[in-house]
Each structure stands twice: as structure tokens, then as C-alpha cells.
Structure 1
């Protein structure tokens, strides 16, 4: 018996049906971690991109160092640091939030480069026109540059969304009961790994296909000349 459910291994189909509700609970955790991690990566990545493009080196250099550090160190090390080291300094986070934060920080380094490429694709003349109209750098970035950069980077951001989704199983090392960890527990208890792992693989394939289709639709729907602000 596991999680209050009695297993019937006589029939593979009955066994698969019996474990599906538990896997769906793990699927919900996986989706939550993916969404939160991606939102953090998108927001912090945008902040890093803005800071790295700042004219003052005292601002841009630390941002570049943080970006390189996050990108060049493994996700597992960052996850262990947040989960095991920060409590020594009085910062204790739940396992799920620790995992989502680690995903967001790791991928923010990659999304910052995506934002940078999109920003640099904006014609220089638009910056000069905004300067001639006496727009501030912040106003120019928010009203002119960013709305035009976002449609150009949707496919790249979508790729990182899928990558984050596939990295969620790493959170099992800090006891997050995401989908793959649940499947492993089921296999440990029933000595049947084939069915739960196959079901998880199928669910991951379905999620990535849906995400990829949504990204393609969004890429086609967004106007390439820029997002209208009104």
C-alpha cells in the first residue's frame, strides 16, 4: 500500500490506472515548478540584461559577473547551496521554493543573453530618435526597445521554458515530490519501474509538445514590428 492505494500488479492496465492519480499530483508539482522557475528566469534575466547594458562599469561589470557565475556553475551545486548552506545563515526556504528559485536563477543567465540579443537587434536609429525627443533611458527601454525586442525572442525563451520543464526532476534531490520522484517511489514500493517511468516519459512528451505548439502560436500571433502599447 502506498499513499492509501492498494496496488494491483496482476494487470498492467489496472496498475497504470491505479497510479495515474498519484502521478498527476506529481505532474501538478512539476508544472508549478516550471511556471515559477520560468517567471523568475524571465524577470531576473531582464534585470540582468538591463544592468549589463548600463553605461556605468560599476553597474555592468557586477551584473556580467553574476550572469557568468550562474551560467558556468551546475544547477545541482546552486540547488545544494540554497538548500543546505543558506540555513546556516538563517535563511530557510521550503524545498519546493528552493528548487523553483534555483531553476529561476540558473536560467536567468541564459535568458539575459536572449534579451541582450533582442535588444541589440533594434535599429540604432530608434535609440537616437528617442534621445532627440528627450526620452530618458528608462522610458526608451520600456516604451520603445522592449516591446520590439520581445516578439523577436519568443522562440528562444520558449526553448528555455521546455528546458526548465525537463530540469525539474533535479529537484528530487531536495525531496520535492515532482513527477519523476513520485514514479521512483512507486517503483521502489512495487518493484515495477517500467510502467511508472514509461508513464512519466509519456507525460513529459505530451507537455513538451503542448508547450512547443503554444510557443509557435504565440510567435505567429505577436506582431514582429512590436507589441502595441494601447
Structure 2
């Protein structure tokens, strides 16, 4: 079947609507993952043993079970117990909780990368917890975190097609719908490949700029 640019232009609005859903799910899930990861990282450094064990168990559970299984459980099993979320909200929630377990390790590595002497010097100066973290720890821990966090953002963008399993129509789901209705596959899937590649390259470019900015500021 010949590639038709005319057909491609006709289906672009449907693909763009799907792309908006993809971006919403990606950034919503990533924002939640940043918060979840930070809470887990701090919880693992806490002196309360039950909290540390809970955080360790949560990370192990999320990292050892597939995201698709988690999506099915939240969307199809929990409603049986009266817990129900809209499809897109379920996708954002599962993406955030799942990726947050990985981001916790990024936070942990960044925080532990701050030399112990910096902690001791800050405490010797009498710094309380808030200025200790905002003025000493985070300015040194954040720059090494940016590349892996950027990789997780781009990876999360490419995980959103899994949300089709819970009826969320992202850009890939929109292409599937077009292909199923028209039996034309070249145009929708080629367009999706180009769209995903373009957005990923743009995101990678901004991550590199952010990394250079923080690195130069550190110097």
C-alpha cells in the first residue's frame, strides 16, 4: 500500500490529541515520581526501623513487578473493593508510583555522593536541617542526579503506550485506532515513530542544557 501524505494530514488531529494525553501522563507521572522517590529516599535514611523496612519493601515490590500488572491491578481489581479512579488518573498514579521506586535510588546516590566532611562542617556551624539540605546538600547532590532523572523522564514517555491496557488512548493508541478502522498502517505508525523520536530528542536537549547549567553554577 502506497504511503499517502494526504491521508497522513487527515489523521494528524487524532494523533495530536493522543500526543496531548501522552504528555499529560508523562509529566503527571514524573512529577508524582519525583515526590515519591524523595519520600522513599528520606524514609530509608530515617532512624525509624519500621519506616526503613517499609520503604525497602515498597521499592522491592515496585521494581520486581511489571508496570502492566500494576496497571491491571489498580484499574480492574481495586474497583471490586470500592476504590476506583478514572483511566488517565490511574495511569498517572501507577507511572508515578512505579518510577518513583527507581528515582529513590537516584536520590540516594546523589545524597550519599556528598562528602561526609560537608555534613560534619555544616553541623559544626550549627546549621539546622532546612539550611543544611538547601544550602549544603542539595546544591552538591542535584547536578549528578540530572542525567539519570532525564533518562527516566524520556523512558517514562515511551512507557505510556502501556496505558492502552486500561483504555487510555495516547498517541500510540490513537494510531492503533486509525489502523484498525482504515486498515492503513504505514501512515499512522510512521507518524507516531517520528513524533516520539522528535519529542524524545527535544527532551534530551533540554536535559543536557539543564545539566550544563547546574554544572556551570556549581563551578
Aligned twin of 1:3:
none
Structure with more of its chain in helix, by fraction: 2
What are the superposed Cα offsets for residues 21-56 of structure 1, whole Å, 9 maximum, x if unpaired? 110000111011110011111111011011111133
Mapped to 2, the partners of 1:220 and 1:95 lie a distance apart of 37
1:11–1:149 Cα change, 3 Å = closer
> 1:110-135 deviations in whole A, cap 9, x for unaligned?
10000101001101011112222333
1:32 corresponds to which of 24, 30, 40 = 24
Q: What TM-score, normalized by structure 1, do the two folds share?
A: 0.90
Match for 2:113 among 118, 121, 125?
121
Instruction: Say yes or no: does 1:65 pair with 2:57.
Output: yes
Equivalent pairs, count: 219
Structure possessing the higher relative contact order (Cα contacts under 8 Å, 6 or more residues apart): 2
Q: Give the SS at the match of 2:21.
A: helix
Counterpart for residue 53 of structure 1: 45
SS of structure 1 residue aligned to 2:126? coil
Q: Are residue 220 (structure 1) and residue 212 (structure 2) matched?
A: yes
Partner of residue 197, structure 1:
189
**1:158 and 2:150 are equivalent in the alignment:** yes
Point out where structure 1 has 5 or more consecutive residues left out of the alignment: 1-8
**Alignment partner, residue 4 of structure 1:** none
The answer (yes or no) to whether the contact 1:148–1:224 under 8 Å persists in 2 is no
Give the drift of 1:215. Answer: 0.4
How far apart are 1:226 and its partner, in Å?
4.9
Q: Which residue of 1 aligns with 2:73?
A: 81
User: Aligned pair in 2 of structure 1 residues 143, 61: CA closer, same or farther (>3 Å)?
Assistant: farther
Task: State the SS of the aligned residue for 1:122.
Answer: coil
Write out aligned runs for 1:86-125 (5 A). Answer: 86-125=78-117
Q: Structure 2 unaligned runs (5+)?
A: none
Give the match's secondary structure for 1:91. coil
User: Displacement, 1:92?
Assistant: 1.0
TM-score normalised according to structure 2 size: 0.94
Cα distance change of structure 1 residues 88 and 13 upon mapping to structure 2, 3 Å threshold: same
Pick closer, same or farther for the CA change 1:226–1:81 going to 2, 3 Å: farther
Could you tell me how far 1:218 is from its partner in structure 2?
A: 0.5
**Aligned match for 1:171, one of 149, 163, 166:** 163
Q: 1:142 to 1:67 in 2, by over 3 A?
A: farther
For residues 89 and 147 of structure 1, do their structure 2 counterparts lie closer, same or farther at Cα, with a shift above 3 Å needed?
A: farther
